[in-house]
Structure 1
Amino acid sequence: MRIAAVSAALPSRRVTNEDVVGLVREHSAPVFEGDLEDTLRKIEFWLAYSGSECRRWSEDHERPADLLLRAGEQALAEAGLARESVDIVIYTGVGRGFLEPGGAYHAAVALGLRRAQCFDILDACMSWTRALQLVDGLFRSGACRTALVVNAEFSLRPTGHVYPHVFALRNPEALTWTFPAFTLGEAATATVLTAEGAEPWTFAFASRPDLADLCNVPMADYADFCVTPSEKIAKNGVQRFTSYGFDLHEAGRDEVLEVFKRLDAPKDEAVAVFTHASSKRWWQDMADHVGLGERIHHVFQDTGNIVSASVPAAIASAVGGGRLRRGDRAIGWVGSAGMSFSAFSFVY
């Protein structure tokens, strides 16, 4: 499998940590019980500690579909791929406008891919990585020759699962299950994949379903779909983002290192490491631990946490900046809600 092209489209609004703290103050002030200014200082500290500087949010005139279209058209053009030759379109990630049918169908229509097979993969921040593992298997089986993987992670819109609702903290304790919301950014990406011209990819995966209650966007009747509902789910309400970010990173540390250890690839040959953009500091610590600290390519400080768009956006950034060139080996490394963990290696 070969990445023929990868593109990222970021919205135009630049939102700094200071802006976020101001928005939390604005929306929390009418409902907060306790010392709001002390809580705001904690948010400011943890944002800076994580390595956050700014993130990109869409303006009112910027639709997710338009940025997805921009990313898709750019990737197809860079790949030199005729639209009729695209066999499969996969839509990945949390940001979506439809429960039915899959977002891939709407993306395919927008991009003029009228004959491609379409389906979605939803696995939180791991979605893009899962899609590439599946495409790799389809290519190996001979079922298809070309694929387009797209996503549009836009959760900060007023109709989304995050803003302004979860910016209205009700007490200091709410920071425990809400802080990751303040790191989020928005982005659309498109990845064109072909079956020929590259060395085989290698993947390692692990799951910890016992930690599934640490990060959720539950639907209205979620409790009827849980055998043993957890009190951690829906702390910010149904259809709202709830995430115990500190617990996620603490619980995930050993799992992330273990899945990296299990990756069967010449890791020392990697010129770049691309991770989920959940925290610059935390992933830098992970990369330092395995001796690849100088090779990690961060985007978190510029984009915020862009969910399943994190790794493809980082690859696009590295290619655009000359950090990753054809023939270079790279490593992807992801931890996700679920929880799930992955490390993978490929030659660009």
Structure 2
Amino acid sequence: MNEVSDRMAAVAAAGSSVTAGSRIAGLGAYRPADVVGNARAADAAGVNPEWIAQRIGIQERRHAAESETVVTMAVEAGKEALANAGFTADGVDMVILATCSMPSPMPNGAAQVAAGLGCRAAAGFDLNAACSGFSHSLAVADCLVKSAAARAVLVVGSERMSDWVSARDRNTGPIFADGAAAALVVPTPTPEIFPVAWGSDGGRADLIRINAATGYLEMDGRKVFGWAAGALTPVIRTACDRAGIEPGELKAFVPHQANLRIIGAQSASLGAPGLVTATDVTHAGNTCAASVPLALHALYRNKQIRTGDPVLLFGFGAGLTYAAQVVLSP
């Protein structure tokens, strides 16, 4: 190297401080006030309430009001995450918004979330991996923190899925819902977010899609069930292997809250009797990228997990995409 390149390398080295790992320092959530029970959802979809409860496992879900946007819900969830971490907005230098339900591709939502929180000059981008978006975003945040590209990353999953489904469609209307949840990721001397196991199966992307003519989400529920309940089992095991933990040593399992039957099949595949498995879908519905952090927040709030407990997070959905990682509870 010449003198100029030597000087550049020295400046770059002085400005970096690679850390061994990252951790979740705080969690936050926002659930819209409008609770839609099965009677109301069933009437719109032309089915009976018992059909919804038995087939999907949902008793109620939340729908956002006009003033509750993807961005405003994300801001509220972010506020709680920062408060729980004892962190100020000024300390956040990156916001990642996991969402697939922004009303328009531009402007992005993350920059608006950063502004709403008062994160001055924080970088921000949206990440669309649908229902596995939060798990993808958490993995990206972990990499950013460990490489010193960012020191404090706010990861938010926020969705207004009620805008993208027809209430009259029995395959989607009673299932999808709205909400947001956030996690603040910061450096730590020893890893508390472990290596991700992720991938995609784009050859089957048409199983969950937006119909260009109607603007509504369509889903082949039977085929999605088979994929999620069977083909993804090795991914769950791989995430445990990469964290150096046996499934029986986990304290909780937080899969994407698609429906109770899928959750039950995935939990059983771990072969860990007594494992706490999140079933937030019963009262929250399927909130896509918000479902995993909402379910994790519920376990934390209800004291079903304690600080330092190993928890397996697992997102999967449209794309088809999937991502799983073990984390230690904040």
Name the TM-score, length of structure 2 as normaliser. Answer: 0.86
Q: Is the 8 A contact 1:94 1:122 kept in 2?
A: yes
Q: 1:122-143 CA distances to partner (integer Å, 9 max, x unpaired)?
A: 1111111111111111122121
The corresponding residue for 1:189 is 181
Q: Does structure 1 residue 252 correspond to structure 2 residue 228?
A: yes
Partner of residue 96, structure 2 = 90
CA contact (8 A) 1:214 1:244 kept: yes
SS at match of 2:161: coil
Q: What is the match of residue 16 of structure 1?
A: 37
Q: Within the alignment, does 1:206 sit opposite 2:199 as a pair?
A: yes
Partner of 1:229: none
* 1:167 equivalent in structure 2: 167
Q: What one-letter code is carried by the residue in structure 2 that aligns with 1:161?
A: W
Q: Does 1:102 align with 2:108?
A: yes
Q: CA RMSD in A?
A: 1.9
The runs of 5 or more residues in structure 2 that have no matched partner are 1-21
User: In 1, Cα distance between the equivalents of 2:69 and 2:227?
Assistant: 36
Q: How many residues align?
A: 302
Alignment of 1:20-31 (within 5 A): 20-25=41-46
Matched to 1:119, the amino acid is F
**Structure 1 segment 29-40 matched on structure 2, within 5 A:** 40=47
Return the match for 1:284 from 261, 264, 287: 264
Q: In structure 2, do the counterparts of structure 1 residues 209 and 58 end up closer, same or farther at CA, with 3 Å as the change threshold? A: same
Query: After the TM superposition, which residues 315-330 of structure 1 pair with which residues of structure 2 at under 5 Å, given as runs?
Result: 315-330=296-311
- Aligned equivalent of 2:27: 6
Q: Is the contact made by 2:161 and 2:287 (CA closer than 8 Å) also made in structure 1?
A: no
Equivalent runs, 1:288-327 vs 2, <5 Å: 288-292=268-272, 294=274, 295-327=276-308
Q: Output the CA distance in 2 between the equivalents of 1:9 and 1:243.
A: 26
Q: 2:152 maps to what in 1?
A: 146
Q: Is the 8 A contact 1:47 1:183 kept in 2?
A: no
Q: Distance in 2 between matches of 1:6 and 1:130?
A: 17
Q: Which amino acid aligns with 1:304?
A: G
State whether structure 2 residue 148 is matched by structure 1 residue 125. Answer: no
Q: Secondary structure of the equivalent of 1:187?
A: strand
Partner residue in 2 for 1:342: 323
Q: Secondary structure at the match of 2:180?
A: strand
Residues 1:242 and 2:234 aligned together: no
Amino acid at match of 1:329: P
1:15 Cα deviation after fit:
1.0
SS class of match (2:199): strand
C-alpha distance in 1 between matches for 2:260 and 2:122: 37
Cα distance in 2 for partners of 1:98, 1:107 equals 15
